[in-house]
Copies of this chain bind each other. A is one copy, B any other.
Amino acid sequence: MEDQAQQEQASPEVQKRIQASFDRQGLMSHLDARITHIAPGRVRIELPSRPEVTQQHGYFHAGATSAIADSAGGYAAYTLFPEDSDVLTVEYKINLLAPAVGDHIEAVGTVLKSGRTLTVCQLEVFGVRDDGERKLVANGQQTLIRVDRPGG
């Protein structure tokens, strides 16, 4: 899966549409997050370690972990939607499996089930060190809804 996902890329149109939407998310740029991979049904977002994203012990705050996980899942769903539609998060659940430490964290959103109205994604967040060590720090599940864009 991993290798396949690395090779696969969404179409240039889809990548452009998602990058443009991501760039409008004030929170993502305020956190210094960036999209690193856009494949059909799978999107990765990275967040570098900085004091601005910590909780009281200096780990990544669950809110920061969740924020990039939510966006990764949302855009993973969005890769499979038609152009004149939009995506909203209905709900998600996330387990914080281990202290989120590392030089950066990486959220991977993967579509589990894509329906006409609802999409379900798996959310994974890894703590990654610059030496390449990589550990699953959070795992979740998310439900999204496709909405038609007014005037879309």
Min distance, Cβ A42 to any Cβ of chain B, angstroms: 16
Chain B residue at minimal CB-CB distance from A24:
B56
The DSSP consensus for interface residues of chain A is mixed
Number of copies: 4
Which residues of chain B come closer than 8 Å to A57, judged between CB atoms?
A: 24, 86
Q: Which of A6-14, A91-99, A126-134 lines the interface with chain B?
A: A91-99
Chain B residue at minimal CB-CB distance from A120:
B95
- Interface residue count on the A side (C-beta < 8 Å): 50
Given A26-B54, A30-B52, A91-B96, 20 new contacts (CB under 8 A) = A24-B55, A24-B56, A26-B55, A57-B86, A61-B70, A62-B67, A62-B70, A63-B63, A63-B64, A63-B70, A64-B67, A88-B96, A90-B143, A92-B93, A92-B94, A95-B141, A97-B113, A113-B136, A118-B145, A140-B141
Give chain A's interface residues, CB within 8 Å of chain B: 21-22, 24-28, 30-31, 50-57, 61-64, 66-68, 70-71, 86, 88-98, 112-113, 117-118, 120, 122, 136, 139-141, 143, 145
